Amino acid sequence: MHRIDSKNVLTDEQGRNLFTGGNPHKPEKDEATWLSADWLNAVQEELCSFIESQGLELSKDNHNGLGLAVQKAVQNALIPVNEQLRKLSEEIYGGKKP
């Protein structure tokens, strides 16, 4: 991914390119940041590749794909932790439920 680098970006004190809404009363002097296809495509592909990396298919009719992908990634990350907790519980309680 990259920061926006099209016309009329606002560069902050850390040197980061940010969006600006411009001034609607004086657009000729303070124009809003232009959205570039490069930046929009980069954002799209970052999001889509994460969703697909979780084994989900992209769908025009599904508006919660990113949320499902995050949920799945967190669940997958917890599998080793849950397994360790299960083994520890067996050691402590000898296979009996506490």
pLDDT of residue 97: 63
pLDDT of residue 85: 87
* Grouped pLDDT means (10 residues each) for the chain, 98 residues: 91 94 81 93 97 96 96 92 86 73
Three-state SS letters, 20-89 = CCCCCCCCCCCCCCCCCHHHHHHHHHHHHHHHHHCCCCCCCCCCCHHHHHHHHHHHHHHHHHHHHHHHHH
